[in-house]
Each structure stands twice: as structure tokens, then as C-alpha cells.
Amino acid sequence: MTALKNDRFLRALTGQSADMTPVWMMRQAGRYLPEYRATRKQAGDFLSLCKSPELACEVTLQPLRRYAMDAAILFSDILTIPDAMGQGLYFTEGEGPRFRKIVRTEADVLALPELNTARDLSYVTDAVSVIRRELNGSVPLIGFSGSPWTLATYMIEGSGSKDFRHAKSFMYNQPEAMHLLLDKLARAVADYLNAQIAAGAQAVQIFDTWGGVLSTPAYQQFSLAYMKKVVQQLTRVSEGREVPVILFTKNGGLWLEDIADSGCDCVGLDWTIDIGRARARIGSKVSLQGNMDPSILYATPQSIRAEVGRILQDFGPGNGHVFNLGHGITPDVDPQNVAVFVESVHELSQQYHQGNAG
Amino acid sequence: MTALKNDRFLRALTGQSADMTPVWMMRQAGRYLPEYRATRKQAGDFLSLCKSPELACEVTLQPLRRYAMDAAILFSDILTIPDAMGQGLYFTEGEGPRFRKIVRTEADVLALPELNTARDLSYVTDAVSVIRRELNGSVPLIGFSGSPWTLATYMIEGSGSKDFRHAKSFMYNQPEAMHLLLDKLARAVADYLNAQIAAGAQAVQIFDTWGGVLSTPAYQQFSLAYMKKVVQQLTRVSEGREVPVILFTKNGGLWLEDIADSGCDCVGLDWTIDIGRARARIGSKVSLQGNMDPSILYATPQSIRAEVGRILQDFGPGNGHVFNLGHGITPDVDPQNVAVFVESVHELSQQYHQGNAG
């Protein structure tokens, strides 16, 4: 394997010094880029794009050609696992993901097969291998999965949801069946992430997009507990290097201490929590990733730069910060504003890393 | 004025003892009730229902005929203020509120007239008077308004929004114009709530539905600061009795201490924050209202009762808790489940109020 030319991201995740704060963006390979829209058109539809290792590699690399991102993230969908379990994922224009099969009873849960990553998700591990080869050591590659709870919500609702009525009723009325489902999904997520690591992912992130819609005890029992199970089963060293794990619960600011205790290396923050307060609460136990409001990318370059500066100052001097948005970049952002964002992070962060051997 | 027969709600808001925990529900006059849907049909449309004091009174009283609620809340819309300022509120089926005029520049802000409640919102104060007369002292009546920030988001977006792109761009790019708008809205909200109090509202709640989409410093400067301005201007004693003020910021759990410092009497909690932790953080400085996940009303009676019990236990013995949902009740709930909810609160809470002179 080629040596890694830029390891700022991996160093920050494990609390080591660097010359500046690394930066990447959730959903950085996405619709705000005209070249992404062109490749997606070429693929035909979104799932075909995900299922082609070559095209998935192409869109993964597109933001890196424009911006000095410190990490690449595998282009894929968070719902590949339930699709591979036979639930029949499809997308309807403007309405997001849907499943042909829906899980609503204990019998439905029992009928779900165990995930066979090698057989049913080889298009993902193939994409990881192709991307690693094409990156050629320029920056590290992040693998990812949805969290067990987040996957479960889509499998039970059959689609996205505003109030998660069915997922929550299932959880409150049939807690044992829900635990059975989440247990199966935790095994699947761990297996899936380990396959990505074996194929070359150098860090992994678990996206708990919908953990934040739960009450505190429900979050602990039905979301965080299963992310912990995943973390415990992960391969933590590969190619002679630590493989850091990032947990990101959107709207999880109330539970930071609990998330930091999960065994992960880094806690992803959305934009509602103050990163300075988060650091004060967690200390240097884990690294922090975030946390700029994605909507600021709609503002002027001056406003973007000012907000980057505020967040860097709020985190303060020292290591353990990966700059990112607090959620995925939105489709209507001007790509030029992303350049301002990335350059501002690199330029304005250097003052907080002085005395560090980068 | 008739003496108040049930003052549990007002006593809990001001930290006084009661025989059991009072309960009401946000959006308790709403679409889950068939009699509400019938009255709305009779009115023709939603705004005509809001603008008829007699019909607004009718739907306000409907949930009280079915359930032993400890408070009534004025039936109205949170966007009456911008409508009265000439912005042209209307509703499209299934798409929520929209405005004919949109605020996007400093000139738009300067052109907005000051609110004249007596002239343009007499249908609201008339409704308050009619409801008070019809309640005949059975339970107290809550008045309400949207928060300045929440009103501003609709006025700038022109409708609801997923990412508040325009409101946030306006805030980041033209902060002075935004402060001018919020200042005008804070005066309007205070005037509007004082008119409701003068007409007979015995407590008021400020709904900050969208404060929780902001970063911490933006919340402080653009939402909380203006709710404080409103609170400072409110009539706090009427009819010889204190008029308590409730502030409710959805997704505001990170900022409870700051909200409790605003001068309000009670902090409304959504369902993501643990009420026991909230009480530990705030102490007895203010009362707490909340905080059951509205989705639990889709579950079985047993699950509803268990969750009510868990929240009561979590708050623990003592005064200062108004039971409520963490957000408005949703349209598809079975009305029988609401009966289970209200009865469970009254029945299960008595053990935590023993030794209290009710």
C-alpha cells in the first residue's frame, strides 16, 4: 500500500498534533456539484450509481478535485443493508427512499435473513478497493453505515417519516421484537463496516440520523446500546494503523457524555451544540467532529469565513478537532462557497496549532 | 369574575402545592377530534375558524368536554401577528401556511407597520373574552403567541421550511436588519399577549417552534434575547392574580439554564430531554412543563400509562410540574388514547403530592 501523504484527519481523530485542522463535509459527493449531477444522469438513477463501483469512485473523487478536503468518504446509501436483506429498496422522485417489504411484526423480524456482506454487498467493498487505488494515498478514505436504530426506522416505516409513528409504536408496544431486530442489525452493521475496513476504509462513521427523535431513555436503550455493540465488534487496527470510529447522532447534544463513553474515537456534533461547551463536557476523552450549520453555505463568503473563525475559536487551541458541517451539505449551495469554507478552515486554524509538529 | 374552581395548573406554574399533577396538551383543540373536524368544516377553512370568536370558543372547549384537562388554551394560529401586519397569510391544502408578501430586505423590514392589536386582532381578544365567559371558572385559560424568531422565519421564508435557508442567510448576511425585524416583532408579541391578558388570559405561552434549528450563539442573540424582551414587557398580575409565563423552545434542551434565566415562570420541554435531568439542572427556579413524546399516543393504553408513570417518577416528588406532551398532538391519534393519557397523569401523580394541601 502507498504511504498516506495527508494524515491530518486520522491524527485529529486520535488526538494527535497536526499543522492545521482537517476538514471534510458530510455528503461532499453530492448534488451541489454539476459533475455529480452529470455522473448520476449517466448512471440512470441513484441506486445504479451506488451499485457501480466505478461510478461510485468517480463521484467520491469529484469534491477532492475541486477542494483541499482532508478525507474522502465512500459514496453509497445508508440503506444498503436492509436492501441486501431483501427489503427491496427503491427511490421515488422527490420522495426519498422506500421499501417494498415492511417490518411490522415479530414474525417479520424473525423472517429477516442475516446479512451476507460478501455475497450481497460486494459492490460496496469493490467500490472501497477502487477508490483506495485511485486515491493513491492522497487522503484517507472513510467508510460508513447507518446506525441500527436509523436503519430500523426506515424498515418499519417503509420510508422516511415525520413522526416515526410506526417505529415508535413498535418500540413501545413490542420492545422485545424491537430488540431482536436491532440486535440483528447491529451484527449486520459490524459485519458491513468490517468488510469495508478489510477492503481499505481507514476510518468509519456510524450515522445515527434519527436517534435524536427519541426520549433520553429510549435513545439509550434502542439506539446508543446498539451502536456500542457495533463498536465492540469492529476491527480497530488495519494495515498496521488504528482505524478510528466516529459516532454521529443528529440532535444528540444532550447525550454527548454517553456517546463519548461508547468506545468510539470521535463524537460527531450537529450545529446546535456549542463545540466549546461540548469540549468542556467531554474533555480530551474523544475527538470532536463538526459543527457548522450547513445553511451558512447559503450566506456570503464573509459570513462563511466569520462563522468558521468563530467555531475554531470556540474549540480553541489544541488537537482533536475535525472540522465538518453539522449535517450534510444541501443541494442548492454554490460550489464556490464550499471553496471559501475549506480554505477558511485551513487558513484560520493554523494559529491554534502552533508549536505542533504537523 | 367567577372564582376559579380548578387552579392546579396555575399553582404548579408558580411552584405551589396541588393534590395531583395538572395536565393539558399542546394542540388539544385539533384534528384528532371528530367534533373539531366538523366545526372546521362548518367554518369553511382554517383561517375563518380562527377569525370567528364563537367557533374558536367552540373548538377550545371541545377537548374539555371529553377529558379532565386542567387548562384550556385559546384556539388560534401562531401567525396571526404577521397577518395583522399586512403580510397576507393563507393556507394551501396539505402545504401549511404561506404569505403573499415576503420579507427579504431591510426596506421590507422598515416598511412593516407596527402591530395594532386593538384594530387588527380584535377577533382574538374577542375569542378570549367569549371563552372565559363560557369556561365559567372551570379551568384557567392560556393565551399564546409565536416567538419573534419563529414569526420571522415564516415571514422571511414565506412558508414553512426544511433548512431555513432564507431566514438564516438574512440573519448571517444582514444581522442589523434582522435585529430590526425581531425588535419590531418583540414589541408586537408583547402587545398581543398583553391584550390577551387584558381580555382574560390567565397564563401565556410563547411558542419558539424554530429556535432549536439555530446554533447556540445564534439562538442566544436572535431568539432568546427577543423572548426576554417580550417577557420584560408583559403584564404579570391581572384580576389580582399572577399571570405565569411559559417559554417553549422545541429542541431547546441544550439551553435550559439560559431559558430559565429569561424571567419566565416555566420552561416547556420537548420529549428528547429527560425531565429528571432538566430538574437537576434548573432546580426549583422555574416550573417545568412536558414532556411525553406525542408519538406514544399511537401506542397501546398499557404503553401510554407506563410512559406517564416513568415521566412522573423521573420528575419525582414535589411541585412545579405541568404534565404535557413534548409537542402538539398529531391528527391521527385515537381520542380514546387521550383519555388514557389524562387519567393516567391524574391517577399516578397523586403519590408524588402526598402531604400537600391540594
Q: What is the pLDDT of residues A55-64, one digit of tens each?
A: 999 999 999 9
User: Residue B289: inside a domain, yes or no?
Assistant: yes
User: Residue B2: inside a domain, yes or no?
Assistant: no
Q: Is the peptide bond before A291 cis (omega within 30 degrees of 0)?
A: yes
User: Residue B71: inside a domain, yes or no?
Assistant: yes
User: Residue A306: inside a domain, yes or no?
Assistant: no
Q: Which pLDDT score is estimated for B358?
A: 41
Q: Which pLDDT score is estimated for A54?
A: 98
Q: Which residue of A has its CA nearest to B163?
A: A295
Question: What is the extent of the structural domain holding A102?
Answer: 22-287
Burial of A313 (0-12, 13-18, 19+ CB in 10 A): middle
Q: Residue A226 catalytic?
A: no
Report the domain count for chain A. Answer: 1
Q: Which pLDDT score is estimated for A94?
A: 77
Query: What interface predicted TM-score (ipTM) does this complex get?
Result: 0.93
Q: Which pLDDT score is estimated for B356?
A: 58
| Chain B residues whose C-beta sits inside 8 Å of any chain A C-beta | 163-165, 168-169, 172-173, 212-219, 251, 253-254, 271-274, 277, 291, 293-296, 298-300, 303, 307, 310, 330, 332
How far is it, in rounded angstroms, from Cα A2 to Cα A246?
24
Q: What is the pLDDT of residues A13-57, one digit of tens each?
A: 999 999 999 999 999 999 999 999 999 999 999 999 999 999 999
Q: Which pLDDT score is estimated for A20?
A: 97
User: Residue B346: inside a domain, yes or no?
Assistant: yes
Q: What are the residue ranges in chain A where pLDDT is below 70? A: 1-2, 356-358
| A168, A217, A291 member nearest B296 (Cβ) | A168
Q: Do B274 and A299 lie within an 8 Å CB cutoff?
A: no
User: Residue A297: inside a domain, yes or no?
Assistant: no
Q: Is the peptide bond before B6 cis (omega within 30 degrees of 0)?
A: no
If residue B90 lies in a helix (H) or strand (E), which one and from where to where?
strand B89-92
Q: Which pLDDT score is estimated for A280?
A: 97
Query: What grid cell was written down for A223?
Result: 439506539
Q: Which pLDDT score is estimated for A356?
A: 57
User: Residue A311: inside a domain, yes or no?
Assistant: no
Burial of A214 (0-12, 13-18, 19+ CB in 10 A): buried
Tell how strand A241-242 and strand A237-238 pair up. antiparallel
Q: Do A299 and B215 lie within an 8 Å CB cutoff?
A: no
Q: For chain B, 358 residues long, give each residue's pLDDT as a single digit of tens.
A: 568 999 999 999 999 999 999 999 999 999 999 999 999 999 999 999 999 999 999 999 999 999 999 999 999 999 999 999 999 999 987 788 999 999 999 999 999 999 999 999 999 999 999 999 999 999 999 999 999 999 999 999 999 998 999 999 999 999 999 999 999 999 999 999 999 999 999 999 999 999 999 999 999 999 999 999 999 999 999 999 999 999 999 999 999 999 999 999 999 999 999 999 999 999 899 999 999 999 999 999 999 999 999 999 999 999 999 999 999 999 999 999 999 999 999 999 999 998 754 4
Q: Which pLDDT score is estimated for A1?
A: 53
CATH number at residue A56: 3.20.20.210
Q: Do B310 and A253 lie within an 8 Å CB cutoff?
A: no
Distance from CA of A267 to the nearest CA of B (A): 16
Distance from CA of B215 to the nearest CA of A (A): 4
CB A14 within 8 A of CB A287: yes
- Which of chain A's residues have a Cβ under 8 Å away from the Cβ of B277? 216, 254
Pick the catalytic residue: B154, B192, B219, B226? Answer: B154
User: Residue A58: inside a domain, yes or no?
Assistant: yes
